[in-house]
Amino acid sequence: MPDSNATASLHASDRALGAPAPGESASGDQGHDDAAAQPSQQSTAPIDERGADAAAPALPDPEAGAGHEIELKLLVAPEQLAGFNDAPIVTAHARNKGSRRHLTSVYYDTPRHTLWKNGFTLRVRQSGSRFVQTVKAQHSDDPLKRGEWEASVASLEPDLALAAALLPEDLRDALTDAKLQAVFTADVHRHARLLDVPGATIEIAFDSGVIKAGDHNEIVSEIELELKSGNAAAIYDTALRLAEHGDIRPSIRSKSARGFDLATGRPPGADKPQRPNLDPALSLDEAFAIVLRGSLHHLLQAMPAAEDGRDAEGVHQLRVALRRLRAALHIMRPLGSSATLDGLEADARWLAQSLSAARDLDVFLTQTLPEIADSCATVAGFGTLRELAERQRDLAYRKLRIALADRRCAVFVLGLGAWIATRGWRNDVSPDELARLAGPAVDFAGHILSERHQKVLKRGRRFKKLPAERRHRLRLALKKLRYSIDFLLPLYGRSKPARKYARSLAGLQEQLGHYNDMAVTAGVIDTLGTTSTDAAMAAAAITGWHAHAMAGLEEPLRRTWREFTKTPTPWQPDEA
């Protein structure tokens, strides 16, 4: 099964040692094979095409900064990889035919994978007669950013003393107490070329090879684009031009992640989103960049797990990521209309719709059906119902994988990454709104949160008598408020009022969500075609179980609603 589908990333690494040897391309021995991160956030605002007289305040340039790499990885079918060397963007802008290397990389860890579990990797790579040891670390404050330290060593065996000096003290002890062992090997042939495209110089590397872990193998076939100088937007433009030549799938899943999963037999992981780290002094422009970057990362890291399908959490996290992204984009609406914003929201909605059936059937098969079947052991037909649902789920995952492999998905992700990297939202706002972007994010956040809080209160009036359709509308308003809280409440710190409000909102959303889950289950059953008698009996048992459960949920739900309406809002403590 392919490693992942439409995903994209930016890569940042902090290097200490290991400049390329004379005559070697920078791609030869350096860290091109691990997950990527965003560029620095300091640069000048885009040129205002409305004229030189437009009163635009000074905003930081997203392209400026030193010590970071910007790199994009594109997965390609092995039989198509060589053909990308002849893509028009390559033939028109390549300086020369480039360099070719055979890279052998051995990844080491303790028998319990102590380094990997703590966010570190240790690799020794051979390129010709040169051996380079690399320690990589994922930054705790930014999941897209990796530290990277390199040093020359004598052979493919790691130098423990060199590695230990770069690790936290507790890990040094673990490393000395446990014997290191080779976990897996990446054997890659790399062809690297330099492209001088308008506004930038980009290194393009074609990697073909295999990851080996014991008796298990996984093919490597990918293109890596690294910005050597110039504007980061050029790297996305290059990727989009490559997408015109053939099928590509941007990815942030590193070779190290693939190797450790291969060695342990695990499916790709899908983590929950991290709360953005927003300082109250941040500008609105910077807050947007942080929130959108986190949303993009959540989207990217969930895609391989969703496509793999062995862990139901994959498609769940991908759907959550798309919902959060749409919520983040919607937060930006008060700044004005934007064709780019419209297009991104439409693409996110399209992709989310392609996931819905798979997620609904995952919940039905892993939660709803087993729980009720265990409690209704005397009712026949649950096995038949499971078989029907599993066939439907197979079809739903086939639809999901087609969507992830669609060129529209790749272009959506690449376009989103470019928009974030260049802070393209600045291009669609008036000079007055540029001033607002330069102002404090906390002022904008208070307005947005108050507006959405009041909309929830309005939709929940006379809650006791609300019909099902209006409760559904209330739930949707709550979801928008919840995501806005996730994004913007960190601006108000970890105060007690902020924590209390977040808990109250989460509890209410969860309780209303039970009603929606039951409605979704009814829809799933309707699609299964329960024509047999035993399957119909099992379906009726599920319907009856839910009807009974709904009656028991009503009073706790009303109580939770009353508590929420009385909870002070942390952005306006006296408002309730």
**Cα atoms found within 13 Å of the Cα of residue 112, Cβ hemisphere only:** 7
Query: What's the Cα-to-Cα distance from 182 to each of 80, 123, 279, rounded to whole Å?
Result: 32, 9, 42
What is the structure's pLDDT at 26? 35
Q: Does 145 have pLDDT greater than 70? A: no
Query: What's the Cα-to-Cα distance from 522 to each of 66, 195, 224, 353, rounded to whole Å?
Result: 55, 55, 46, 18
pLDDT digits (tens, 9 = 90+) for 184-197: 999 999 999 999 99
What is the structure's pLDDT at 495? 81
pLDDT digits (tens, 9 = 90+) for 408-452: 999 999 999 889 988 999 998 888 889 999 999 999 999 999 999
CA torsion sign for 545, 547, 548, 549 is positive
| CB proximity list for 338: less than 8 A, separation 6 or greater | 332, 425, 428
**Cα atoms found within 13 Å of the Cα of residue 466, Cβ hemisphere only:** 21
Q: How confident is the model at residue 62 (pLDDT cuts 50, 70, 90)?
A: very low
3-state SS, residue 355: helix
Query: What average pLDDT does the chain have?
Result: 84
pLDDT digits (tens, 9 = 90+) for 94-134: 999 999 999 999 999 999 999 999 889 999 999 999 999 99
In the block, which residue shows the tokens 């994209």? Answer: 8
* Of 395, 424, 392, 382, the residue nearest 292 (C-alpha): 424
**Pure H helices in 59-159:** 78-81, 88-93, 114-117
Rounded to 5 degrees, φ, ψ at 104 are: -115, 120
Residue pair 42/62 in contact (Cβ under 8 Å)? The answer is yes
Lowest mean pLDDT among 48-57, 238-247, 470-479: 48-57
What is the structure's pLDDT at 472? 87
* Of 243, 207, 206, the residue nearest 85 (C-alpha): 206
Distance of CA 4 to the CA centre of its chain: 12
Say how many residues make up the chain: 576
Specify the pTM: 0.83
pLDDT digits (tens, 9 = 90+) for 9-45: 333 333 332 333 333 333 333 334 333 333 333 333 3
Q: How far apart are CA 411 and CA 240, in angstroms?
A: 7
* Of 142, 104, 97, the residue nearest 123 (C-alpha): 104
Angle at 70 between CA 69 and CA 73, to 5 degrees: 120
DSSP string, 191-239: EEEEEEETTEEEEEEEEEEEEEETTEEEEEEEEEEEEEEE-THHHHHHH
CA torsion sign for 76, 77, 78, 82 is negative
Query: What's the Cα-to-Cα distance from 95 to each of 32, 99, 239, rounded to whole Å?
Result: 20, 11, 18
